[in-house]
């Protein structure tokens, strides 16, 4: 079982007349994809939601057998996989909730067993990065992510609204750049 709608990776920064709730209600959070993985008698699936400039994987892991099955996430650093981290565990039949915020394009998969080596795992699914423009918005500019880049992005977004160049904006962090070493950037999207 999979869910129907998913959100893009974004932080909503609305104009003086629009609020984050209004933009979400009007569909500013365009769809990306669902996630679904399985192994043995366990399966996991759900949606990707928007939370503070990151994507959040949410859903559940289900099991019809008596074995222990953890759901794990693995960050990708360029083309190299990082360490596996347990998101949720289903011990025996039933279901367990899953929730985790992430950036980049990590892998998610179901493994079997109670250890921390995660050597018996099912196929992985790469989670989306959210690097496409949200529905109704277009790319305007980007800056390397830093402590100041979010505030600068928001100031540029507000400036464009006050000058009448666009009606709304959003700032979000995305990994962009080369295939080998993508860089975390603060990206400004605008609604014209």
pLDDT in tens, the chain (192 residues): 333 222 222 222 222 222 233 333 333 343 356 899 999 999 999 988 766 556 788 899 999 999 999 999 988 776 778 888 899 998 888 899 999 887 777 889 999 988 777 889 999 998 876 555 677 888 899 998 888 999 999 999 999 999 999 999 999 877 665 445 567 788 899 998
pTM over 0.85: no
Specify burial of residue 21 (Cβ count, 10 A radius: 0-12, 13-18, 19+). Answer: exposed
Looking at the DSSP assignment, which residues form a beta bridge with residue 74? 107
Q: Among positive and negative, which fits the CA dihedral 20, 25, 27, 29?
A: positive
């Amino acid at each position: 079982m999979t869910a129907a709608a998913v959100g893009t990776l974004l932080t909503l920064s609305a104009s003086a007349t629009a609020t984050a709730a209004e933009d979400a209600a009007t569909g500013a959070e365009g769809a990306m994809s669902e996630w679904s993985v399985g192994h043995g008698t366990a399966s996991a699936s759900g949606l990707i939601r928007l939370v503070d400039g990151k994507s959040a994987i949410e859903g559940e892991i289900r099991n019809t057998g008596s074995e222990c099955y953890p759901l794990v996430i693995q960050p990708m650093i360029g083309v190299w996989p990082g360490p596996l981290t347990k998101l949720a565990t289903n011990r025996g039949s039933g279901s367990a909730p899953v929730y985790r915020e992430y950036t980049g394009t990590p892998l998610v998969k179901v493994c079997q067993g109670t250890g921390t080596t995660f050597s018996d795992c099912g196929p992985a699914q790469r989670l989306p990065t959210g690097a496409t423009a949200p529905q109704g918005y277009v790319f305007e500019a980007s800056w390397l992510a830093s402590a100041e880049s979010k505030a600068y992005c928001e100031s540029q977004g507000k400036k464009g609204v006050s000058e009448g160049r666009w009606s709304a904006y959003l700032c979000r962090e995305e990994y962009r750049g080369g295939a080998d070493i993508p860089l975390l950037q603060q990206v400004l999207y605008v609604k014209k």
